[in-house]
A and B are shown apart, each in its own frame.
Chain A
């Protein structure tokens, strides 16, 4: 008996292509990877290199024209107190946000990884992702209203007779201010809220991969829950924490909208880049500012690796 589409018979075009890919497996891989590689290689790496090159140019203070000779002059300008302040402010904020996000995210991620099943797991994903579905700007402006002096949070605090606590908090030098919406505390809270999902999800994924057996084994060997957390759970979840903090840290380092809408009027790196490449026309300094987060992230990852954060991978 003969079948018309018997695969043993002479193949058509698709069949022949399939045969070719079967014989030369690298060919299919190359075809699939070529577009993203081109994209990454030319557009992404290319523009990054262009940025790097720009940062080694300088600006002529009198004419405002760019001097295309390679120099470290622009980088020296970064170390001017006003600019250094911006860098320190941004890095401190990014570090504080990442640390707080890790602390807030951990119980959520742990619950989701260890206990949530079926319906509750779906609810967890929904709850974590839902804020990401609405516009970032809408959320930030909503927070401005929440944190404003006439906002709902202040109203609640007054009702709870806790105004003295808020006033004391706002009276703190540097991080305080007239109201939450114009203080660093406000900026911090909004950053924390906006980037939290980026910490919860990788953490949950990492915790999910820690077998319950390891926790049993740790307890069996005499470790109480705190010791088990320190010696087993945390080290094994560390790649997830690092992955999450890469998001929260770099997103905070680069953001220029939240500090503009909420917080004091002092600049963050993103705002400095925006200002220098726009109105000021100082492209080299803007480029040099942009290199700062890249360098900081490289140092951060290098330190994390040295500390053994990726040993569990």
Chain B
């Protein structure tokens, strides 16, 4: 399988700022790939480098095995859906969609037919004569998508395309984008800061932080086996346990991650814990727990002298509504299944494994 897009040691500096820092990445043909990271982490810059709006300070980018160092954006077979859509305000919706065809000097009748087809594909048939300003945000998003797809690019770049939509519409579009990508079979590279979006849509994703890629993998892989604290905290929420806390649990490691939904309340066995806070999330209840691996005696001691001894392990847990009767201050027993505590670093050296 050929790589659709390949980045080899790519860096982009803006003055002293390393927006993208030595990024290595290979995106396969036909893949739905997400670049996920907080704002300012370099993911959009990376996308712009692939589109050709910007050039890397160092490193090499290949699109279908061809280096694109000196190739301007208008000669690259990739199209972009912009974050703010960038629809041309002086052109009708139909002319916006047909723009790429007009540039290629396709005759007017074919152009209109293809534009209408593209609009139908994104369920906007019959709106070709409207102006972009007359459309809603969701409709504009679809026009931008149709415009980028009409020229049949081999790679579609999407820069936070759903960021400006409200939740309901966003979920709808996520479904649609995924379906569209499967039916077209082309490579989608998708930039987002929304981890749920990335996890639900992507075949694989790369986690960006400070211009660097922290981890690349499938959503399951990244969620269950985060490589470091940043990934564990950024993708989903996680209890990141430090070495001192792990020591209390009898584990020799630098850091580990435990997903809140893995923490179960049990009637016997497990560790004692005190409920510190409770919040209602709709689909579940989140409990903030103080875990006392030392057992009941540790739990009985008063909070004031507790701090001088070994401090309890703070954990958050997601439980279902059957535990709604729990109150702050209650004592519970907690347990997590074998393997759900994921070791990220075994003493200072970086490696991964499971316990």
Annotate A291-313 by CB proximity to B: 1 below 8 A, 0 otherwise: 00000000000000000100110
Q: Considering residues A221, A222, A223, A231, which has the most beta carbons from chain B within 10 angstroms of its beta carbon?
A: A221
A236 at the interface (CB under 8 A from B): yes
Instruction: Flag if B90 contacts A220 (CB, 8 Å).
Output: no
Q: A213-B82, A227-B103, A231-B99 are in contact. Are A219 and B90 (CB under 8 A)?
A: no
Interface range on chain A (Cβ under 8 Å from partner)? 20 to 34
Tell me the bound Cα distance from A227 to B80 in angstroms: 18
Min CB distance A262 to B, Å, is 40
A232 at the interface (CB under 8 A from B): yes
Interface of A is mostly: helix
A224 at the interface (CB under 8 A from B): yes
User: How many residue-residue contacts, CB under 8 A, span A and B?
Assistant: 63
212-240 of chain A: CB within 8 A of chain B = 213-214, 216-224, 227, 231-232, 235-236
Instruction: Flag if A214 contacts B102 (CB, 8 Å).
Output: no
Annotate B147-181 by CB proximity to A: 1 below 8 A, 0 otherwise: 11001000000000000000000000000000000
Min CB distance B55 to A, Å, is 13
A35 at the interface (CB under 8 A from B): no
Tell me the bound Cα distance from A211 to B83 in angstroms: 13
Which of A222, A223, A312 has a CB less than 8 Å from the CB of B90? A312
Instruction: Flag if B104 contacts A213 (CB, 8 Å).
Output: no
Min CB distance A213 to B, Å, is 4
Tell me the bound Cα distance from A235 to B82 in angstroms: 21
B310 at the interface (CB under 8 A from A): no
Instruction: Flag if A236 contacts B90 (CB, 8 Å).
Output: yes
Instruction: Flag if B103 contacts A216 (CB, 8 Å).
Output: no
Min CB distance B79 to A, Å, is 6
Instruction: Flag if B89 contacts A219 (CB, 8 Å).
Output: no
Q: A213-B82, A231-B99 are in contact. Are A220 and B88 (CB under 8 A)?
A: no
Q: Give the total of B residues in contact with A, Cβ under 8 Å.
A: 23
Residues of B within 8 A of A220 (CB): 51-53, 73-74, 78-80, 148
B197 at the interface (CB under 8 A from A): no
Instruction: Flag if B86 contacts A216 (CB, 8 Å).
Output: yes
79-99 of chain B: CB within 8 A of chain A = 79-80, 82, 84, 86, 88-90, 99
- Chain A residues at the B interface, C-beta cutoff of 8 Å: 211, 213-214, 216-224, 227, 231-232, 235-236, 308, 311-312
**Further 19 A-B residue pairs, CB within 8 A, beyond A217-B86, A219-B74, A311-B90:** A211-B86, A216-B53, A216-B80, A216-B86, A217-B88, A218-B88, A219-B52, A219-B73, A220-B78, A220-B79, A221-B79, A222-B74, A222-B100, A223-B103, A231-B99, A231-B102, A231-B103, A232-B88, A235-B90
30 contacts between A and B (CB under 8 A): A211-B86, A213-B84, A214-B86, A216-B51, A216-B53, A216-B73, A216-B82, A216-B86, A219-B72, A219-B73, A220-B53, A220-B73, A220-B78, A221-B100, A221-B103, A221-B151, A222-B74, A222-B103, A222-B104, A224-B72, A224-B74, A227-B103, A231-B99, A231-B102, A231-B103, A232-B88, A235-B90, A236-B88, A308-B90, A312-B89
